[in-house]
Amino acid sequence: MDISLVVPAYNESENISQFLNAVKVVLQPTGLSYEIIMVNDGSRDDTLAILVEAVSENAHLRVIDLTRNFGKEAALTAGLDAATGNAVIPMDADLQHPPELIPQLIHHWREGYDVVLCRRASRNTDHWLQRWFSNFFYKVHNAVSDHAIPPDVGDFRLLDKKVVAALRLLPERRRFMKGIFSWVGFRSTVVEFEANERYAGKSSFSGWKLWNFALEGITSFSTLPLRIWTYVGGLVSIFAIGYAIKVVISTLVSGTDLPGYPSLFCAILFLGGVQLIGIGVLGEYIGRIYSEVKQRPIYLVRSRFGFFADE
Ligand code: UDP
Ligand code: MG
């Protein structure tokens, strides 16, 4: 097998046939052998029925049906685990990732790159707030983590099978794929593309979900938020000692004056807030440790369609 496309799908019933057609139009003329692995991530619509029907008409299509919605990152992992191609291309089912780019990715792969990243040339399909937040996220993430992730590069990319094998070695349950992709390294190059509007349906990622995704990214690849409290505590203590010395001296020189209730109140509130933030950050990491030590599988498969070994 030359090429495996890995496509997570959650409530994508209106996009599937269009997606499969677009892929066929692009890949058929290349003469390469390819498979399309679509992972049904517990869709609530008739995505599965449409996929199963498509399997009987499309010899390239394989379908993995997960037992429930595990989230995009887990669905992607399920697809990567099943991929057998020499090159693997994860992409979205909503046609936001243009299949027309695939030949260009393959071209760079043949030049010897193990990873070909696709960077969105502009983000004009996004709301300005989303754009601002996304820029801010990449800045913060790359400032605090040991492994920078390239901005505006999503999961759409080409991975050599060596890279996929490396990804399979990472056992973590909480999978921030962008970070994981960057952590494994390898020789990479970037191509630019213009993301399309979603063909049909609506995005599963918005507001609160994206915020949590951003936190996930930072806590997955940085321990700086944990370590920073040592320094915050250190600075506050130094300040407290300095202030104590000042109080002692001024008491010796000019006696006591009782006023000071507002400053005391502010100090208590401020320190209380700082301590709670520190505890919250600890909680964030302990939560992650908890979900890792349970050693639960990343996803569960209910059934598979179109895989030769199963039939
Ligand atoms: N997706 C998924 N599981 C989820 C949410 C999304 O498999 O819980 C898939 C979805 O079907 C699509 C891809 O992930 O193929 C990207 O999702 P979406 O288009 O909603 O996100 P956006 O493009 O807005 O970031
Ligand atoms: Mg999308």
Do residues 230 and 186 both lie within one domain? no
Give nearest CA residue, ligand 1 atom 19: 203
Do residues 257 and 136 both lie within one domain? no
Do residues 205 and 253 both lie within one domain? no
Give nearest CA residue, ligand 1 atom 12: 92
In this predicted structure, the answer to whether residue 310 has a pLDDT above a threshold of 60 is no
Do the domain assignments include residue 202? Answer: yes
Do the domain assignments include residue 94? Answer: yes
Distance 94 CA to ligand 2 centre (A): 5
Do residues 272 and 196 both lie within one domain? no
pLDDT category of residue 144 using cuts at 50, 70 and 90? confident
Do the domain assignments include residue 147? Answer: yes
> What percent of the chain shows pLDDT beyond 70?
99
| Helix or strand (DSSP H, E) at 75 | helix 72-82
Do the domain assignments include residue 105? Answer: yes
Average pLDDT estimate for 279-286:
87
Any ligand 1 atom below 6 A from CB of 182 = no
Average pLDDT estimate for 92-98:
90
CATH number at residue 63: 3.90.550.10
Q: pTM for the complete prediction?
A: 0.78
Do residues 276 and 287 both lie within one domain? yes
Distance 254 CA to ligand 2 centre (A): 69
Residues with CB under 5 A from ligand 2 (ion): 92, 94, 96
Of 6, 89, 92, 131, the one to substitute when testing ligand 1's pocket (max ligand atoms within 8 A of C-beta) is 92
Per-residue pLDDT, 159: 94
Do residues 134 and 247 both lie within one domain? no
Q: Give every CB contact of residue 305 below 8 A, 6+ residues apart in sequence.
A: 51, 52, 55, 62, 63, 65
Do the domain assignments include residue 117? Answer: yes
Distance separating alpha carbons of residues 137 and 156, to the nearest angstrom: 19
Any ligand 1 atom below 6 A from CB of 79 = no
Do the domain assignments include residue 218? Answer: yes
Per-residue pLDDT, 309: 53
Atom of ligand 1 nearest to the CA of 154: 25
Relative to beta strand 61-66, strand 301-305 is antiparallel
Average pLDDT estimate for 96-123:
90
Per-residue pLDDT, 302: 93
Do residues 149 and 269 both lie within one domain? no
Per-residue pLDDT, 109: 94
Per-residue pLDDT, 69: 93
Any ligand 1 atom below 6 A from CB of 10 = yes
Do residues 118 and 239 both lie within one domain? no
Q: 14 is in which domain, residue-wise?
A: 3-222+296-305
Do the domain assignments include residue 122? Answer: yes
| Domain count for the chain | 2
Distance 231 CA to ligand 1 centre (A): 39
State CA 42 to chain mean position distance. Answer: 19
Do the domain assignments include residue 38? Answer: yes
Do residues 160 and 231 both lie within one domain? no
Per-residue pLDDT, 287: 85
Q: Give every CB contact of residue 152 below 8 A, 6+ residues apart in sequence.
A: 119, 120, 123, 134, 138
| Model pLDDT for residues 33-54, shown as the tens digit of each residue | 999 999 999 999 999 999 999 9
Per-residue pLDDT, 311: 45
Q: Please state, in angstroms and as integers, the Cα–Cα distance from residue 49 to each residue in 13, 79, 217, following that order.
A: 9, 19, 34
In this predicted structure, the answer to whether residue 193 has a pLDDT above a threshold of 90 is no
Give nearest CA residue, ligand 1 atom 3: 72
Per-residue pLDDT, 129: 80
Q: What is the dihedral of CA 236, 242, 243, 244, to 10 degrees?
A: 110
Distance 212 CA to ligand 1 centre (A): 15
Average pLDDT of every residue of the chain: 87
Maximal C-alpha separation, the chain:
93
pLDDT category of residue 115 using cuts at 50, 70 and 90? very high
Average pLDDT estimate for 93-110:
92
Average pLDDT estimate for 279-291:
87
Do residues 89 and 132 both lie within one domain? yes
Any ligand 1 atom below 6 A from CB of 200 = no
Ligand nearest to the CA of 64: 1
Least confident of 110-114, 171-175, 184-188: 171-175
Do residues 198 and 247 both lie within one domain? no
Do residues 247 and 99 both lie within one domain? no
Give nearest CA residue, ligand 1 atom 22: 203
DSSP letter string over 179-201? Answer: HHHHHH---EEEEEE-PPPPSSS
